[in-house]
Structure 1
Amino acid sequence: MNRIDLTWRNANPLPASANGTDKNKRGRVFAVGGSRRVPGALGLTAQAVLRVGAGKVRMGTIEAAAIPLGLAMPEAGVIALPEGEDGELGPEAAPLINEQLETCDTFVFGPGMSGRSDVGALTKRVIDKPRAGLAILLDAAPLACAAGLETMIAAHDCRVVLTPHHGEMAYLSGTSEEAIAADPEKAAREAARRFRAIVVLKDARTIIASPDGETLVHDSDAPGLATGGSGDVLAGVIGGLLARGVAPLTAAGWGVWLHGAAGRAAAAEIGPTGFLARELLPHLPRLLIV
């Protein structure tokens, strides 16, 4: 098991952005999520995408939140999607999402979503078709709906990143949170093999596993990261790096490190706890080593 330290980062550098590179070549992300209960989470994800150097981000969210999100983040495009009775995205959103997936490099699906039944049907309809070169990150409700979709996810040839916390991993594994906490490395490895995906098992000690058995670990010393919206930022960081062409395991490792380092920077500037997830964002560009 390798630690995500300076040695690892030097051995796995991020791609440099050459002078003259246009925004499309720097990577295009389509981030889908949000709900009436959490309408702003997707904005954190989209900002993180751009803060780590991707060129373009488009947000897809419920119609009621689309214009406010677009006004709050003028750097991003926005697509209004159909909303179900529970205030979540419904299966009717699938054709619009699939249309957008034809013109992006990375699909981040889930920030701010919490429903299960309709989200499960929507998840199947937007990941059932592997697309050459498209990386996918599943978070929150779509991730929780991944149990039973192993074959569908595996068909994407290791280009899917799953970002569960211990509770979501327990649901995916059909076991308890106590069992996950007792041996998180085993849980992450088994899930990575089952889904043929990169698994980021989030905790103060985050375990990242790949289907071939390679495992990375990152120990966080920033307790303030345990705050609402922090995971939405992490999803955007990893998604932005994927769009820049970083291999999924490397993108996950760098994403977890950048997220942790931004937490340490925010703690030093503001205090060890009490900083907001949005306050991680300004620290990300200066932490990039390209």
Structure 2
Amino acid sequence: MPSRSDERVITPRLLRDWALPNPAGDKTSRGTVLVVGGARCTPGAVLLAGVAAMRAGAGRLQLAVAEESAVPLSISVPEAKVVGLTPDGIPSDEVLELAAEADVIALGPGLDDVDRTIRLMKAVLGVAGAHAALVLDAYALGALSKDPGLLSRPRAVLTPNLVEAGHLLGREPDDDLASAAHELAARHDAVVSLYGHIAAPDGSCWREESGDAGLGTSGSGDVRAGIVAGLLARGAEPAQAACWAAFAHAVSGQRLAPRYGRIGFLARELVDEVAHTIASV
């Protein structure tokens, strides 16, 4: 099983040699991202993920959140189409129509009930197009740990934190996060991005070394998942999107540190650095 010594370090040079697609034309050429999440008390997670996706280059953004949050969120993110989930969390026909047409679906930010999330994922993924890429984060990973059959498509990226990785593994991850990421990638046939360690199902693995303590803040994981979704929308392959996103997430934090200190910045401030960080590579 690959270990830390087998990982390629993600550097600007590696990324320049692995250049992102640069679609020409109108917004449709950069793909449509649908973010599904946002329980009643946590709609901000969807906001963070959605705006991060656009900062990473997605052309169109659609958000599905708890019904009572839809109108305020549409005002906060005027660039997005925002639709509501039904009171029990099940997607409406309108949400399912969006899911059927989306190029990328990011599931999980801001959800807070595993059983509802399982029902939601079954409905959304049941209508998703064969071409659609998938990003699973937060409670969507808890749902996957209970029902591994939820994930049955080849273009998927999982973005667990340590707690979520433990649920997926069925045990606490040890200090060798490279091996943990590889185990999950092989088990779910998906790219896994775990605290700077990225693993692909074919055994390829990378490590991002720029991250610091400030990234461990509320909403930071939602931003990272959104960056992955935006990069997938503009045409990146899953491993490429995960590696570029890990770098953009970490270096955006570095850029904020001179103003706020190592641990003083907010996740929403990370979002505003993403586009410049990607362009600077």
RMSD: 1.6
Is contact 1:151–1:195 with CA below 8 Å preserved after alignment?
A: no
Q: How does 1:185-196 map to 2 (within 5 A)?
A: 185-196=178-189
TM-score, normalisation: structure 1: 0.89
Secondary structure (helix, strand or coil) at the match of 1:261 reads: helix
> Do the aligned residues in 2 keep the contact of 1:81 with 1:96 (CA within 8 Å)?
no
1:24 pairs with one of 15, 23, 28? 28
Question: Displacement, 1:243?
Answer: 0.4
For residue 117 of structure 1, give the secondary structure of its aligned residue in structure 2: helix
Structure 1 residues 195 and 130: CA distance shift in structure 2, 3 A: farther
TM-score (norm 2): 0.92
Q: Which moved more, 1:100-109 or 1:181-190?
A: 181-190
Partner residue, 1:164: 160
Q: Counterparts of 1:89-168 in structure 2 under 5 Å?
A: 90=89, 92-93=90-91, 95-128=93-126, 131-153=129-151, 155-157=152-154, 159-168=155-164
Separation in 2, partners of 1:38, 1:244: 27
- Change beyond 3 A, Cα 1:267–1:197: same
Q: 1:173 aligns with which of 169, 174, 180?
A: 169
Counterpart in 1 of 2:4? none
Give the 3 Å change call, closer, same or farther, for CA 166–7 of structure 1 in structure 2. Answer: same
Counterpart amino acid of residue 164 in structure 1: P
The one-letter amino acid paired with 2:220 is S
Gaps of 5+ in 2: 1-6
Aligned-partner SS, 1:48:
helix
Q: Among all aligned residue pairs of Structure 1 and Structure 2, give the percentage whose two residues are the same amino acid.
A: 37
Question: Are residues 38 and 130 of structure 1, via their aligned partners in 2, closer, same or farther at CA, if it must alter by over 3 Å?
Answer: closer
Contact 1:128 1:152 (C-alpha < 8 Å) held by counterparts? no
Deviant stretches of 4+, over 3 Å: 94-97, 148-152
Q: Distance in 2 between matches of 1:97 and 1:63?
A: 11
- The 2-side partners of 1:130 and 1:236 are apart by 18
Output aligned runs, 1:29-68, within 5 Å. 29-68=33-72
Aligned counterpart in structure 2 of residue 232 of structure 1, from 222, 227, 230: 222
CA distance in 2, matches of 1:102, 1:274: 40
Query: 1:133, CA displacement in angstroms?
Result: 1.6
Q: Which residue of 2 aligns with 1:5?
A: 11
Shift of 1:165: 0.9
Q: Aligned-pair distance for 1:201?
A: 1.1
Contact 2:144 2:150 in 1 (8 A): no
Correspondence for 2:260: 270
8 A contact 1:109–1:137 mirrored in 2: yes
The answer as to whether partners of 1:112 and 1:140 remain within 8 angstroms in 2 is yes
Q: Distance between the aligned counterparts of 2:230 and 2:132, measured in 1?
A: 13
